[in-house]
Structure 1
Amino acid sequence: MAKVYYEKDADISLLKGKTIGVIGYGNQGHAQAQNLRDSGLKVKIGELKGTVGWEKAKEAGFEVNENEKIAQEADILQVLIPDEYQAQMYKSDIAPYLKEGK
């Protein structure tokens, strides 16, 4: 049987003071970004400039920037874009900015 985790099983204080970058503001990205923000965490959105996702994230009150900028600024990244785009975006927008512990 699968183990189910609840709020009491996590220590959100470990994420306080960190910037969480959510790459992609679609079906998964918008929900997870809002949950993180509602939990009191600092969230920034990475999106392609001029896309619907960019506009929706702005309208929701998030700081939005291009993926490579978020990759540089965030302590933790969530990559929530369609699978077929992840490899190329990772190579061009994330990998060049990774460093130890990030």
Structure 2
Amino acid sequence: MNMYYDKDADMSILKDKTIGIIGFGSQGHAQGQNLRDSGYNVIVAEVEGTDNYKLAVEVGFKPVSAAEVAENADIIQILVPDQVQSKVYYNEVIKGLKTCPY
């Protein structure tokens, strides 16, 4: 088994990337702020009018739709409840996906 430590990670590969967070609940809230506060470019998707939308605005994000995140992010984290993940993916995320350059 290989063990990896902080020193083994090259975080500079994320510096010019946009990281999209879809869902601003307990996971999206923590990860989105952590990434942003670490200097990364983060965009957030949340349903307008929800408590999580209001929270995202309160902490300085400008929430957009999941389709907009998919269209504009290089890396996407889908952090919505399991029971709605497929609906969010097929109804919104897939509309904005672009061909992977790798």
TM-score, normalised on structure 1? 0.89
User: What is the aligned partner in structure 1 of residue 40 from structure 2?
Assistant: 41
Contact 2:71–2:98 at 8 Å: present in 1 too?
no
3-state SS of paired residue (1:54):
helix
User: What is the aligned partner in structure 2 of residue 58 from structure 1?
Assistant: 57
Residues in 1 aligned to 2:25 and 2:8: alpha-carbon distance in whole angstroms: 28
How far is 1:57 from its partner? 0.6
Q: For residues 34 and 66 of structure 1, do their structure 2 counterparts lie closer, same or farther at Cα, with a shift above 3 Å needed?
A: same
User: What is the aligned partner in structure 2 of residue 23 from structure 1?
Assistant: 22
Structure 2 stretches lacking a partner, 5+ long: none
Percent identity, aligned pairs only, is 49
Q: Which of 91-100 and 24-33 deviates more?
A: 91-100
How far is 1:19 from its partner? 0.8
Deviations 1:30-62 (A, max 9, x none): 111111112210001100011111110111011
3-state SS of paired residue (1:63):
coil
Residues in 2 aligned to 1:28 and 1:4: alpha-carbon distance in whole angstroms: 25
Residues in 2 aligned to 1:10 and 1:63: alpha-carbon distance in whole angstroms: 29
TM-score, normalised on structure 2? 0.89
3-state SS of paired residue (2:49):
coil
Structure 1 stretches of 4+ moved >4 Å? none
CA RMSD of superposed structures (Å)? 1.6
Aligned pair count? 101
User: What is the aligned partner in structure 2 of residue 72 from structure 1?
Assistant: 71
